[in-house]
Amino acid sequence: MSIMKRNIMSIGVILAAIFTLSACVEDLDNVQVDDAAGVQFEVSAGIVDTKTANDGLKTSWVAGDAISVFHAEADASAYVSDASFTVAEGDLEAGTFKGTLASALDASKSYDWYAVYPYVADSSSPKAAKVTVGNVAQAGDNTTAHLAGVNFPMWGVDSSVEAAARPTLAMTHLSSILEVVVTNRSTAEVTVNTVAFTAPEEVAGEFTVDLTSENPAFTAVQDKSSKTSTLDVTGAAALTTGGSAKYYLSVKPFTAAAGSELVVSVNGIERKVTVASDVVFAPGHIRTLNFDYDQVAAPVVTTDKVAFSSATLNWTTDGLATAFNIYVGGEKKATVGADVLTYDLTGLPTGAESKVTVEAVGDQNTAMSDEVAVKTAGVYEVENNTGTSFLCIGWDELARTEVNGATQAYQVQVYTDADMGELVYDITPYTGGNNGDNYIFGNSSYLGKSSSPQGTLGIKNENVITPMRLSVGGFYPATTYYVRVRTLAGYTNKETDAKTIAHPFGDSSWSDLVPMTTDAEHVLADDEIIYGGFNDMCVQTDFLSPALGAINDDKATPIAWDKRTSSFLRFYAWGTGLHQANTFGLAATSGITRIDGSTKPVSADCAIHRGNAKGSGNTYIGDMEGWVWAAWTRPMMGAFALDGNTTFIATPPLTTDKLSAEGTECTLTFSAAIRTRYQDNISLTADGLQVQVWRANRETPSYETIHTFKVSEIMPYDVATATAKDVVNDYNRNHLSCDLTLYPGDNVEIVAKRSGYIVLDDILVKRK
């Protein structure tokens, strides 16, 4: 649709309202309105010639302008919509709009005619003609060129016109015009970008208008109208001190009743006034409002680069501020100059939410921003995988850009005290191992990639992105340590292939020191026969899958729980077949006694069942010394994984005097979980684990099957409702138990009855 042209010709006598926040404000009721005739021009449904003016504003039609035309028999209410009538180039001077009547006229009757600009296709009646008012744009200062077109509706009526006569409709404006005069009272230049006017009722947006009443009545369209009319300004010249300019916007006609509040804002700075008596905003008239631009506006604050104890603040300015104050939790942290619109805030609490505000300081006032909540990344102890000599350190990841870990460089430090008096570990990235194409940093949690803990049983086959975490050993029992974490912009491993791991965040500030406490050692109660918690092993684990072994700088010596390294902790990169107990130096190399009592390879039948038993653990394995396991039994940080059918772990011979020669009724309890993968063929009804006892009191050592646990009892999540996230497992293990009768010298063993990993922990035998 083409648009009417409108140009400024003259301004009538106007006394303006002054919008200020001072005590001597002049109320709007003192403003006088120029009551000269509104903008008018004549239009005929067939032949019309007219031009009109509105408070000195001259309006001209342009070719293609269209109006909606309606008619009804005189004084009747059966209205007919004649749809669109348009004006052609040759008819502009005469103002002739041409169209086709929807129904023939009766030559013996007279008719009432109605018109509204602009034409709206679904306006079917003059009692509910659709119009849009306000929310426009102005290019430059002191211009009214934009005061025409579809957001400045007009209307006209011609009553009791004989059918043979030419209907002439004098068009007048439906909207009221606001002229906002902005004067810069500050010491800095000001560029006007936005102007807004807010009234007590809807004054902008979509409305329906009843053209059949003497004063057209507006009805707001729900959810499409607003109490605020806006003006976007482009290309405005900067106002120097004392300079002023005019800006024009429109509103639906209304009366501001005595006691109501009106608001004008420029660049977001508001001026409010409560009117003392009724103030009329009449259609087809201009009301002028003065606006002194001298008070600073509240900044709008955003944040980015939020880390463990820091965040970058950014905020807006209206050009009036002379300084900005930064507050955290109501406490002032810093003051910066007027030209600074960003600040790196440090010292925020780790893993907690802080309330941040920025205050603009101006010559006349100060203005505080809204509160912004800043939630920093957390550092925490994964308590369900903490033992007597190891900690599982977890943290919220920052800015993950890859799944293979090449951009996940973190540094972890562990101290003995909150004053950082003694550095226990300084853990930095290390490359190699783990499928050969990934970077190693601690263990695969650092990589943030896991191809193993995926699901079947209806769970989508996809890589599961694990949380950031690291299992670290070599600690003392029941001891509190202090951990902090940060990102590294880049770290080059200079000992192997000199590859660099980076982090897109860059070097972040350190997190707070977070206290983490190891478990106390298990002390056998009077009714307990034996306990195996695997807690003295310093072998890494990630989501219940075998991972890396902690070794000293020489990359050869295993770390016992009471022999912490005095230098940087390194990690043993594992590969297939290279991560069994003997790999980490945790198995005895001589004096091995098999479960059947032999020191040589067992019989063929037993070899099939027991395949290459490794025998007992050595002193480095701590509380598991003397326990026996088969090949492919994988030591972890505080757990063992049975890798494959017939793989087992067994207690030493139970020679305690708590067992009687006649037999003692006991209960075996332990925790277990199957590490599921999408490629595993899992049957919930299949056998998962068997509890067996080797009977030392028999002439020929042999075993007795006590109980069989089904796969369904060992699954670490509810298969019926599991999602891909559940398959990650997160160290969840089921608690299993069975009763058994034991004799002195018996070995209790747990045997895998399926392929794949089954993780065991906290094995306890006690008397009933």
CA 747 to chain centre: 54
Cβ atoms within 10 Å, residue 356 = 22
> What is the total count of domains within the chain?
4
CA distances from 15 to 54, 706, 726 (A): 17, 101, 72
Q: Are residues 506 and 558 in the same domain?
A: no
Is 197 inside a domain boundary?
yes
**Residue of 348, 291, 300 whose CA lies nearest to 321:** 300
Q: Which residues have CB under 8 Å from 144's CB, separation 6+? A: 6, 7, 8, 57, 248
Residues of the chain short of pLDDT 70, as ranges, are 1-59, 400-406, 429-467, 493-499, 536-623, 631, 637, 675-681, 696-701, 717-731
Report d(CA 581, CA 435) in Å as an integer: 20
pLDDT of residue 608: 32
Three-class DSSP labels, 576-614: CCCCCHHHHCCECCCCCCCCCCCCCCCCHHHHHHHCCCC
Is 242 inside a domain boundary?
no
Q: Are residues 745 and 613 in the same domain?
A: yes
Is residue 62 a contact partner of residue 92, using CB atoms and an 8 Å limit?
A: yes
Q: Are residues 436 and 568 in the same domain?
A: no
Is 275 inside a domain boundary?
no
Q: Which two tokens stand for residue 743?
A: 């004799």
Is 76 inside a domain boundary?
yes
pTM: 0.63
CA atoms within 13 A on the CB side of 241: 4
Could you give the angle at the alpha carbon of 686 between the alpha carbons of 684 and 689, nearest 5°?
Answer: 105
Choose the final residue of a domain: 324, 357, 375: 375
Report d(CA 22, CA 364) in Å as an integer: 11
Q: Are residues 656 and 686 in the same domain?
A: yes
Is residue 633 a contact partner of residue 614, using CB atoms and an 8 Å limit?
A: yes
Q: Are residues 608 and 722 in the same domain?
A: yes
* 3-state DSSP helix/strand/coil % of the chain, to nearest 5: 5, 45, 50
Is 738 inside a domain boundary?
yes
Choose the final residue of a domain: 262, 291, 320: 291
Q: Are residues 149 and 129 in the same domain?
A: yes
Sign of the alpha-carbon torsion through 14, 19, 23, 28? positive
Q: Are residues 496 and 536 in the same domain?
A: no
Is 243 inside a domain boundary?
no
Is residue 134 a contact partner of residue 203, using CB atoms and an 8 Å limit?
A: yes
Report d(CA 447, CA 465) in Å as an integer: 9
CA 695 to chain centre: 60
Q: Residue 328: beta bridge partners? A: 331, 356
Is 678 inside a domain boundary?
yes
Q: Are residues 610 and 751 in the same domain?
A: yes
Q: Which two tokens stand for residue 723?
A: 């999602």
> What is the residue range of 63's domain?
5-180+192-227+286-291
pLDDT of residue 284: 83
Q: Are residues 472 and 572 in the same domain?
A: no
Q: Are residues 346 and 450 in the same domain?
A: no
Is 629 inside a domain boundary?
yes
| 3-class SS of residue 507 | coil
Q: Which residues have CB under 8 Å from 523's CB, separation 6+? A: none
Choose the final residue of a domain: 375, 392, 415: 375
Residue located via tokens 């980076």 = 502
CATH of the domain at 348: 2.60.40.10
Is residue 496 a contact partner of residue 294, using CB atoms and an 8 Å limit?
A: no
Q: Are residues 346 and 411 in the same domain?
A: no
Q: Residue 115: beta bridge partners? A: 69, 156
Q: Are residues 557 and 667 in the same domain?
A: yes
- 385 secondary structure, DSSP code: G
